[in-house]
């Protein structure tokens, strides 16, 4: 048996940058991570909402009324995948001319800086994904910069109902415009499921007009019970779609936790009144009105100093959105808030007038979530 040398050059232009890993700019493209909702369906009840659901993905609803769609992680997936994102239409809604619905991932500038967009060296990208819908016809999406003044609309066709189809879209790099290259908003990748006539236009070229879809976009919300599944989303440099980059679950979770993390166990939806283990530790009273807890460190350093939200745990007499303290009995507090904070951790404190003995120590219990989403 003879051996043969094998180099990157033999892999063709799919690997022209020499990147065999970390090719995709998309995080959670396989839709496996759902820290907030643990797979539960969420109805977008608010009109003109941008609500994060599966990690790194949010549903953008620009509409006159809410409750038109629900979103959840689904176990319906093509071969090689375990999960997808499912969007379901909740009514037969005639979309208005300026309305649109899309599932979106915002890509951090650091992760898109190598594309060199906004310069003469702008790189071509390829977007690849698996899609399935109960409806057939023309669908579309778009790439957008943070200033919303450089937009590329792309289109694709779903040929068969309730059948997984693999799509690839090649997009030339934008040589103009402003594209952020730090920890701010680098670019948006959007998959449109419905859009009105005044926010639709021609596909296939860069424009300063912020269109949300290609003209003729199929309206998912126009049919009650219509479904749209998406998974295997990859955005990479080059003019060729490479096989989907399956990272380990732990690596994918850590990437997600740069933008959102919580104290809830894996598989538990973020909510008040959850039964089970919570964040617990010592708290010290520096006055009779408040106690300060030990510093809480995040699982990984976050993109920026996040917004902290507090949740009570069942059985501690804590009220919704507040922790509780323990000194022989559980005591509800009036306020749970954040003292010092940065992208690596925060110091929580609790307050209640005259409830504490100065210099005494207490036990605290409760949950938190931290969001540094773009």
**What is the Cα Rg of the chain in Å?**
23
Same-domain status, 228 and 292: no
pLDDT recorded at residue 15: 52
Six-digit token string for 360: 């005494």
Same-domain status, 74 and 154: yes
pLDDT tens-digit map of 136-151:
999 999 999 999 999 9
Same-domain status, 240 and 305: no
pLDDT recorded at residue 276: 83
What distance in Å separates the CA atoms of residue 309 and residue 337, rounded to the nearest whole number? 9
Whether 32 shows a pLDDT value over 60: the answer reads yes
Same-domain status, 310 and 183: no
Whether 19 shows a pLDDT value over 90: the answer reads no
- Residue 181 covered by a domain: yes
pLDDT recorded at residue 243: 96
Q: Are strands 213-214 and 200-201 parallel, antiparallel or unpaired?
A: parallel
Whether 312 shows a pLDDT value over 80: the answer reads yes
Same-domain status, 202 and 320: no
The CATH number given to whatever domain includes residue 153 is 2.60.120.260
- Residue 265 covered by a domain: no
Q: What percent of the chain has pLDDT over 90?
A: 91
What distance in Å separates the CA atoms of residue 190 and residue 87, rounded to the nearest whole number? 14
Same-domain status, 252 and 283: no
pLDDT tens-digit map of 198-232:
999 999 999 999 999 999 999 999 999 999 999 99
pLDDT tens-digit map of 270-300:
999 998 889 999 999 989 999 999 999 999 9
Same-domain status, 45 and 175: yes
- Residue 262 covered by a domain: no
Whether 197 shows a pLDDT value over 50: the answer reads yes
Split into its structural domains, the chain has a count of: 2
Q: How many helices (H) and strands (E) does the chain have?
A: 2, 25
pLDDT recorded at residue 260: 98
Whether 82 shows a pLDDT value over 80: the answer reads yes
Same-domain status, 233 and 356: no
Q: Which residues contact 290 (CB under 8 A, 6 or more apart)?
A: 349, 350, 351, 352, 356
What residue numbers bound the domain in which 81 lies?
Answer: 8-257
Q: What is the DSSP letter of 36?
A: T
Q: Which segment of 11-15, 146-150, 161-165, 241-245 scores lowest on mean pLDDT?
A: 11-15
Q: Is 50 helix (H, G, I), strand (E, B) or coil?
A: strand
Whether the full predicted model's pTM is greater than 0.75, yes or no, is yes
Same-domain status, 298 and 152: no
Whether 6 shows a pLDDT value over 60: the answer reads no
What confidence tier does 8 reach under pLDDT thresholds 50, 70, 90?
A: very low
Same-domain status, 232 and 294: no
Same-domain status, 82 and 210: yes
Sheet strands (E) in 196-334: 200-201, 206-207, 213-214, 227-237, 260-262, 279-285, 290-293, 296-297, 307-311, 324-327, 329-332
């Amino acid at each position: 048996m003879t051996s043969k040398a094998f180099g990157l050059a033999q892999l063709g232009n799919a690997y022209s940058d020499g990147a065999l890993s970390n090719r995709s700019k998309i995080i959670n493209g396989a839709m496996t991570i759902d820290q907030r909702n643990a797979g539960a369906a969420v109805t977008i009840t608010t009109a003109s909402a941008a609500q994060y659901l599966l990690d790194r993905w949010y549903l953008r609803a620009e509409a006159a009324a809410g409750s038109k769609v629900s979103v959840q992680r689904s176990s319906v997936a093509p071969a090689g995948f375990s999960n997808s994102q499912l969007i379901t239409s909740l009514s037969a809604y005639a979309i208005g001319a300026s309305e649109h619905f899309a599932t979106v991932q915002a890509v951090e500038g650091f992760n898109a800086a190598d594309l060199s967009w906004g310069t003469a060296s702008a790189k071509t990208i390829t977007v690849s994904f698996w899609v399935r819908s109960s409806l057939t016809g023309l669908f579309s999406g778009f790439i957008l910069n943070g200033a919303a003044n450089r937009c590329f609309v792309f289109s694709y066709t779903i040929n068969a109902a309730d059948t997984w189809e693999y799509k690839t879209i090649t997009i030339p790099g934008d040589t103009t415009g402003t594209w952020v290259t730090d920890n701010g908003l680098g670019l948006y990748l959007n998959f449109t499921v419905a859009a009105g006539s005044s926010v639709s236009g021609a596909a296939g070229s860069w424009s300063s007009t912020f269109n949300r879809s290609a003209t003729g976009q199929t309206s998912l919300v126009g049919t009650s019970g219509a479904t749209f599944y998406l998974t295997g989303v990859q955005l990479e440099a080059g003019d060729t779609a490479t096989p989907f980059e399956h990272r380990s679950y732990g690596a994918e979770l850590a990437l997600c936790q740069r933008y959102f993390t919580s104290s809830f166990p894996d598989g538990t939806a973020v909510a008040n009144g959850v039964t089970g283990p919570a964040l617990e530790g010592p708290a010290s009273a520096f006055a009779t009105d408040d106690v300060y807890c030990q510093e809480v460190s995040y699982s990984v350093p976050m993109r920026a100093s996040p917004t902290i939200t507090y949740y009570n745990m069942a059985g501690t007499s804590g009220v919704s959105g507040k922790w509780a303290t323990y000194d022989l009995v559980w005591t509800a507090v009036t306020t749970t808030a954040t003292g010092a904070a940065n992208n690596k951790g925060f110091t929580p404190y609790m307050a209640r007038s005259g409830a504490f003995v100065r210099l005494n120590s207490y036990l605290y219990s409760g949950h938190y979530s931290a969001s540094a989403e773009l």
